[in-house]
Structure 1
Amino acid sequence: MPATTEPAPAKINLALHVRHRRPDGYHELETLFAFATDGDTVTVEAAQTNSFTITGPFAAALLTPPDTTPAEAGAQLGEGNDDTPRASHTVVGNAPWYGNLVTAAADAFTAAFAPNARHAITLEKHLPIASGIGGGSADAAATLRALVRLHGIAATDARLHAIAAKLGADVPACLANRTTLGTGKGDTLTNLEGLSGTPLLLVNPGVAVSTAAVFKNWDGQDRGPIPEGDLLTRATAGRNDLEPSALASAPVIADVRALLDAAHDVLLSRMSGSGATCFALFETAEARDATATAAQARGWWTLATTLAWFTSHCAPSS
């Protein structure tokens, strides 16, 4: 049984409207999910025992004991679950591992579909953690897609979406891996079209932001729904209701936004998710790359990529 490799691209929220807090502790959302063409990768292969290897430039961030306790239950957008300790997989390497959504996804998949199976999983980590671009959620979703292919499971099996929803509110969107409108907790998805191939720049100032804290400090004001129209119209007329809360804990986000807002040929600039990563869509790759150079001069992490439209075999029906 050959190994399978799946991309775990960066997720961005073209718009993110928080409507109200639900009785279950989550928040009612309207969000425009979109994905970059680049990000992490997950490779899964059959093995005698479970193992989990983390490589890549941001591996150390997942192999270091967390300084804070895990985020409170009810944190949305996936980032709050990454530090939950798990012991089902042996970590390959010298540093201690405190678990993340990849092994949680593998555990849930094997329990549902292949209880006697064991897997060697490798996560190549290129995206910063706790950064509002769905790194943990995208990794978990890629793990599920890789296991689906490895074991020949029907991609339409309803248990996959149920597993994804339990892992995190935006894991279903990352499982679908294409542009969607997310409502409810963000896990009720409607397929959308538009903007594929648009030059995209992600910028992170190197500050981790707590998703749970950002949601907790949201001001509670319902500023209305995402409007109708084509994707760019809806995105530009929208907003990110979590940005003021994120700015309170990471004021440097304002500096990133100022750089992107002032860039040449920008179509849209905004903070993604709960921050601190911000993004900009550009008319040209040249303008994107010039802005990336300016951001790098300030010591900020950047990813110059394009907006993708993936044809995931796990995509939802509209």
Structure 2
Amino acid sequence: MPILVTRAPAKINLTLHVLGRRAGDGYHELESLVAFTGAGDTLSLHPGEALALEVSGPTAGPAGPLDDNLVIRAARHLSRRRPGLRLGTFHLVKRLPVAAGIGGGSSDAAAALRLLGRSNGLDPTDPDLMDAARATGADVPVCLDPRARMMRGAGETIGAALGISPLPAILINPGIPVETAPVFRALGLMVGERYRPGPHPEIAEGADSEAVVASICPARNDLEAPALGLAPVIGEALQALSVEAGCRLARMSGSGATVFGLFVDRSAAVRAARRIRDRHPQWWVKPSLLR
């Protein structure tokens, strides 16, 4: 069988509301509008009997031990649900920053499930794929079909694809890895405690970019303040975006340290990205379209 290839795009939390911390399992309950970018990792699969992973690319070094990689974990979870599943050797080209709040590892895992599904003739909606995604990690289910949608709970509840118009944007990672767990700890919620309740903005299916920006501007990322306390450089990146001509909204994604700016059009985003990159050559700066 020929080598199969897919893209693992970055996940951007356009909003991230923390509703509280669940009494049953202690997980934080979230509501988040998620979109995906053109920037991402690339994953290929050479189908075979044995499971293996090779990693290369500019951010391969910080990706961690291969045996603990989410690609391997996802494959193992699907294999448990599908005895006799044909596996193979994965080759992951890492381009996204690690521990960056953009779901790089989760998107890689979801890409692995898509490739295994194709290799084994599984329907993309096969429930075993979603079950394996949920078992692998909180952000993996929303990355399985990478299109803008709402995610709720601890990531296990996924809304329908919204089909929104592309949003011109810039992504910035200032080069500081930020682990998720310390950010949630800094939020300081006790098990069973509620936090900033209130309705999330409604996003209409097929909404154009004007409507999406108008809807999400009053929303927030509740992890931004605790992340800023741990990594103040996030504030510098937000400021760098907010002063650029054409920037309509600057906000942090996920638990940081990546931030994004939404711009009036793609040309404005490209020009601003060039200026920011010139001023901060050590930062990862990517103009993109969010979908």
Global fold match (TM > 0.5): yes
**Structure 1 pair 139–236 and aligned structure 2 pair: CA distance change class (3 A):** same
1:145-166, CA deviations, whole angstroms, 9 ceiling, x for partnerless residues?
0111111012222121111111
Residue 180 in structure 1 maps to residue 163 in structure 2: no
Q: Which runs of 5+ in 1 are unaligned?
A: 64-84, 86-96, 309-318
Residues 52-63 of structure 1: pairs in structure 2 closer than 5 A: 52-63=53-64
- 1:114 Cα offset (Å): 4.6
Say whether the 8 Å CA contact 2:75–2:87 is kept in structure 1: no
Deviation at 1:201, TM superposition (A): 1.1
**Structure 1 CA distance for aligned equivalents of residues 148 and 85 of structure 2:** 35
Find the aligned partners of 1:250 and 1:46 in 2 and give their Cα distance: 42
Q: Is the 8 A contact 1:3 1:150 kept in 2?
A: no
Task: Give the Cα separation in 1 of the matches to 2:262 and 2:163.
Answer: 13
The residue that corresponds to 1:41 in the other structure is 42
SS at match of 1:15: coil
Task: Return the TM-score normalized by structure 2.
Answer: 0.89
Deviation at 1:224, TM superposition (A): 2.1
The partner residue of 1:246 within 213, 227, 251 is 227
Displacement of 1:98 after TM fit? 5.5
- Change in Cα spacing, 1:195 to 1:261, as seen in structure 2 (3 Å) is farther
Listed as ranges, the matches of 1:143-182 within 5 Å are 143-182=112-151
| Residues in 2 aligned to 1:289 and 1:204: alpha-carbon distance in whole angstroms | 16
Encode CA deviations 1:123-148: one digit per residue, 9 max, x unaligned. Answer: 11010000000000000000000111
- Distance of 2:50 and 2:260 partners within structure 1: 40
Whether 2:224 is the aligned partner of 1:224: answer no
- Uncovered stretches (5+) of structure 2, i.e. residues with no partner: 190-194, 205-211
Q: 1:3 to 1:257 in 2, by over 3 A?
A: same
Tell me the TM-score normalised to structure 1 length: 0.82
Given that residues 3 and 43 in structure 1 are in contact (C-alpha distance below 8 angstroms), is that contact kept between their aligned partners in structure 2?
yes
Distance 1:33 1:116 in 2: 31
What SS is found at the alignment partner of 1:226? coil
Structure 1 residues 124 and 283: CA distance shift in structure 2, 3 A: same
Q: Kindly provide the amino acid, as one letter, of the partner of residue 100 in structure 1.
A: N
In structure 1, C-alpha distance between the alignment counterparts of 2:251 and 2:77, rounded to whole Å: 34
Is residue 200 of structure 1 aligned with residue 181 of structure 2?
no
Picking from 99, 112, 115, the partner of 2:84 is 115
Q: CA deviation at 1:305?
A: 1.6
1:219 CA drift (Å): 4.4
Q: Is the 8 A contact 2:110 2:143 kept in 1?
A: yes
Structure 1 residues 158-191: Cα deviation after superposition (integer angstroms, max 9, x where no partner): 1211111111111100012111111111221112
Cα distance in structure 2, aligned partners of 1:14 and 1:290? 22
- Name the SS for the 1:302 alignment partner: strand
Distance of 1:115 and 1:109 partners within structure 2 = 10
Instruction: Tell me the alpha carbon deviations over residues 197-236 of structure 1, each in whole angstroms, 9 at most, x when there is no partner.
Output: 3222110000001101101111443252312254333321
Q: Taking every aligned residue pair, what percent have the same amino acid on both sides?
A: 42
Measure how far apart 1:48 and its partner are: 4.8
